[in-house]
């Protein structure tokens, strides 16, 4: 599938008619909203991250994780490919230090060397090609300042455009990746101190901009 079709597909798939659909059917698929936030926060916060000021989430949805982060960081940004997620975030996010922007699905619309911390949670498994993932890794390196951290979650199993009965739609998992691939793309992009941990079918990677 071409890159344009991948991007078009993601935009259509993530379009939500209202905030309840975005929250429960698309983002957390039946889980309790507050419990889902509490279970995911420890995965993206750790002691070294607490000293940072500027954070960016790739694929932030309506800002589920950005909201609690607004108390920890001075500037909190999110990008998302879905125009409706960005629109619905305006009802959900009232904090002055959070800004959510619609992006093109593969690049980060920020100057270089700006952020201390870039992360992505529950997003990279939806990307339709390795090129898209590699592009986000390169872009994350570009927008991070030296010493900044990049943390993302990916999935081992590929199921490109498979049917997901829970959301009665297609496309839950895009590409599957493994540790050696992630290690290679982080290295090529200029990251050091790479730490990749398996969590069942999921993988969590942490790396530092040199
Ligand atoms: C399962 S939701 C997770 C949202 C958020 N990270 C959270 O944990 O609450 C996946 C989000 O990724 C966004 N997304 C999918 N592909 C994307 C891409 N290529 N670039 C940016 N956002 C993307 C979707 O629009 C959707 O909001």
Distance, CA 53 to ligand 1 centroid (Å)? 23
Distance, CA 91 to ligand 1 centroid (Å)? 18
Task: Please name the CATH architecture into which domain 3-209 falls.
Answer: 3-Layer(aba) Sandwich (3.40)
Tell me the pLDDT of the chain averaged across its residues: 91
Q: Hey, what are 153's tokens?
A: 């979650």
pTM over 0.85: yes
Give the C-alpha separation, 33 to 64, whole Å. 9
Does any ligand 1 atom lie closer than 6 A to the CB of residue 9? no
Atom of ligand 1 nearest to the CA of 85: 27
Share of the chain above pLDDT 70, in %: 92
Burial (CB count within 10 angstroms: exposed 0-12, middle 13-18, buried 19+), residue 108? buried
Residue position matching structure tokens 């619309």: 109
Of 48, 45, 82, the closest CA to residue 63 belongs to 82
Domain coordinates of the chain in residue numbers? 3-209
Q: Terminal CA-to-CA distance of the chain, rounded, Å?
A: 34
Burial (CB count within 10 angstroms: exposed 0-12, middle 13-18, buried 19+), residue 94? exposed
Is the pLDDT at 197 greater than 90, yes or no? yes
pLDDT at res. 128: 83
> CA angle at residue 104 from 19 to 71, to 5 degrees?
55
Does any ligand 1 atom lie closer than 6 A to the CB of residue 155? no
Does any ligand 1 atom lie closer than 6 A to the CB of residue 81? yes
Atom of ligand 1 nearest to the CA of 28: 1
Atom of ligand 1 nearest to the CA of 64: 9
Which stretches of the chain are assigned E, i.e. beta strand? 54-58, 75-80, 98-102, 115-120, 144-155, 163-164, 169-170, 191-199, 202-209
Give the C-alpha separation, 142 to 146, whole Å. 10
pLDDT at res. 4: 82
Distance, CA 61 to ligand 1 centroid (Å)? 5
Does any ligand 1 atom lie closer than 6 A to the CB of residue 128? no
Give the C-alpha separation, 81 to 203, whole Å. 22
| Beta carbons of 194 and 187 less than 8 angstroms apart | yes
Task: Point out the least confidently predicted range of 141-150, 170-179, 183-192.
Answer: 170-179
Does any ligand 1 atom lie closer than 6 A to the CB of residue 27? yes
Confidence band, pLDDT 50/70/90 cuts, at residue 171: low
pLDDT at res. 135: 97
Does any ligand 1 atom lie closer than 6 A to the CB of residue 171? no
Distance, CA 81 to ligand 1 centroid (Å)? 7
């Amino acid at each position: 599938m071409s890159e344009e079709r991948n991007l078009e597909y993601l935009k259509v798939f993530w379009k939500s008619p209202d905030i309840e659909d975005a929250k429960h059917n698309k983002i957390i698929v039946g889980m309790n909203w507050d419990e889902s936030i509490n279970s995911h926060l420890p995965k993206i916060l750790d002691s070294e991250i607490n000293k940072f000021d500027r954070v960016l989430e790739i694929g932030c949805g309506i800002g589920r994780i950005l909201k609690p982060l607004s108390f920890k960081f001075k500037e909190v940004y999110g990008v998302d490919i879905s125009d409706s997620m960005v629109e619905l975030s305006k009802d959900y996010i009232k904090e002055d230090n959070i800004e959510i922007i619609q992006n093109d699905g593969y690049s980060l619309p920020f100057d270089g060397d700006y952020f201390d911390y870039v992360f992505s949670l529950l997003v990279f498994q939806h990307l339709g090609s390795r090129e898209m993932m590699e592009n986000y890794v390169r872009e994350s390196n570009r927008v991070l300042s030296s010493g900044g951290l990049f943390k993302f979650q990916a999935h081992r199993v590929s199921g490109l455009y498979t049917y997901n009965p829970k959301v009665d739609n297609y496309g839950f998992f895009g590409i599957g990746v493994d540790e050696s691939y992630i290690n290679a793309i982080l290295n090529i992009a200029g990251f050091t101190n790479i730490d990749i941990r398996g969590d069942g079918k999921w993988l969590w990677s942490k790396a530092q901009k040199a």
